[in-house]
């Protein structure tokens, strides 16, 4: 009896597209905005709404450093999700980051397009990737094969 070939290639292509488009959308609408604001804050001395939020609404020390960490997080983690590198970890980080952003009323500060229903959609997509992995077309899978092992446990499509 032949071994089960697994899910159809169309499922893996769909996972690749969902993962890539979600990561790129997060970069474009949330991460890139903050990087541009940070660049203008640093080189052109313009105001950065995220720094103002951390200084005024939540008086935290090192507001500029915290703002830069937020900007790098909302740029780097979705990029790694898009290519499928450490998919479950980055999906978990994005899930927690969006939860914290929503809890700290950062949704309008991070991006004008980050509405509550958009956050819920990102929650569901990242939760799916936390539970199921990135699929066969993820960089995780390539590194597992390079080391001579393929992950057998965990996730429907990993």
Which tens digit of pLDDT belongs to each residue from 60-113?
788 889 889 989 998 999 999 999 999 999 999 999 988 887 777 776 677 666
**Spatial contact of 106 and 56, defined as CB atoms under 8 Å apart:** no
Where does the pLDDT of residue 147 fall: very low under 50, low under 70, confident under 90, or very high at 90 and above?
Answer: low
Residue 6 within any structural domain of the chain: no
Domain ranges, residue 21: 11-146
**Spatial contact of 119 and 107, defined as CB atoms under 8 Å apart:** yes
Residue 67 within any structural domain of the chain: yes
- Locate 49 and state its tokens: 């709404």
Number of domains composing the chain: 1
pLDDT of residue 90: 94
Where does the pLDDT of residue 153 fall: very low under 50, low under 70, confident under 90, or very high at 90 and above?
Answer: very low
- Terminal-residue alpha carbon distance, the chain: 23
**Spatial contact of 102 and 119, defined as CB atoms under 8 Å apart:** yes
Task: Count CA atoms closer than 13 A to 6's CA, side-chain side.
Answer: 11
Average pLDDT over residues 18-34: 91
């Amino acid at each position: 009896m032949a071994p089960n070939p697994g899910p159809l290639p169309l499922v893996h292509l769909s996972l690749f597209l969902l993962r890539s488009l979600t990561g790129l959308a997060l970069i474009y609408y949330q991460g890139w905005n903050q990087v541009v604001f940070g660049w203008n804050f640093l080189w052109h001395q313009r105001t950065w709404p995220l720094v103002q939020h951390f200084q005024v609404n939540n008086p935290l020390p090192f507001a500029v450093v915290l703002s830069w960490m937020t900007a790098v997080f909302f740029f780097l983690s979705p990029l790694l999700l898009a290519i499928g590198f450490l998919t479950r970890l980055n999906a978990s980080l994005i899930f927690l980051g969006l939860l914290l952003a929503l809890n700290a009323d950062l949704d309008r500060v991070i991006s004008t397009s980050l509405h509550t229903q958009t956050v819920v959609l990102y929650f569901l997509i990242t939760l799916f990737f936390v539970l199921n992995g990135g699929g066969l077309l993820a960089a995780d899978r390539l590194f597992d094969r390079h080391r001579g092992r393929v992950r057998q446990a965990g996730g429907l499509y990993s």
